[in-house]
Structure 1
Amino acid sequence: MSTSEFSKEWRVLGFGKHPEIGAVVQARLREAGLAANVIVLTDDEAGDAVLAKELDNNEYDGVVIGSFISGQDPSLPPTEETTLWFNRVLNVIHAHAPAAQIVLVRNPDDALAAIFRVLG
């Protein structure tokens, strides 16, 4: 997918658990012409607060939830713990960025295509 396929510079926030994956995904999204910010969250109140603050301080067209948290990666099936985490982040997004579209990815390589599917 190339930059020319995007009709506008979408503002997207991505988040997940692994910093090394987040850095790669952020670089890919920015290279494609998106105003992308990818952050790493922890599964606790501090992580929820980081997400809430980021959403309060910036306006996003879409919020990309990493596959480890959302349970979308078939090789990383959801657990009770990750399901609780996923529910919490959905509620944080809903409370702090109700106009943003939710984007679920199946793996890091799916991020750009998933954003296009949801925002395009």
Structure 2
Amino acid sequence: MAHGPVLVIGLDPARIPGWDPDPVVSAIARGHARFAEYGIEADLCLTAADTAAEEQITAALTRREYACVVVGGGIRKHEPLLEFFEQVVNLVHRHAPGAAIAFNSTPEDTVDAALRRLG
């Protein structure tokens, strides 16, 4: 079954201070590779919760029409990022109104989150 493209928005582990990004980078790569198993095109938008995020996320959302946008757990689950999470959801709502919105728990279950919304 063919599905439209998916955009994954997550925190860039290389831009989190005091954090070893390698394990997360590897998990993101493994999770992203799973999309190919389902024949789904997927784009990544890795960002930081900073002033450039809105422009970066908006550019990614408007690059093409997405069937689903997955917002990563790093954005959603970390309480200090609540306002950033709201900003991300509202940007998806504004710039990709036809896309389903999904939330993953880990980088490796991102395709599962997308598949829940893609049907």
Q: TM-score range by the shorter chain?
A: 0.7 to 0.9
1:47-95 per-position Cα deviation (integer Å, ceiling 9, x unaligned): 1211101111211000011111011xxxxxx32x211110010111111
The answer on whether the counterparts of 2:6 and 2:43 sit within 8 Å (CA) in structure 1 is yes
Is residue 112 of structure 1 aligned with residue 111 of structure 2? yes
- Provide the residue aligned with 2:7 in structure 1: 13
Structure 1 residue 109, shift from structure 2 partner: 2.5
Q: Which moved more, 1:45-54 or 1:20-29?
A: 20-29
Structure 2, unpaired ranges of 5+: 15-24
- Counterparts of 1:48-87 in structure 2 under 5 Å? 48-71=54-77, 78-79=78-79, 81-87=80-86
User: How many residues get paired?
Assistant: 107
The runs of at least 4 aligned residues of structure 1 exceeding 4 Å deviation read none
Alignment root-mean-square deviation, CA: 1.6
Give the CA deviation at 1:31.
3.4
* Aligned pairs for 1:22-33 within 5 A: 22-33=28-39
Percent pairwise identity:
31
Higher relative contact order (Cα pairs below 8 Å, separated by 6+ residues)? 2
CA distance, structure 2, for counterparts of residue 31 and residue 16 of structure 1: 21
- TM-score, length basis structure 2: 0.81
Unaligned 5+ segments in structure 1 are 1-6, 72-77
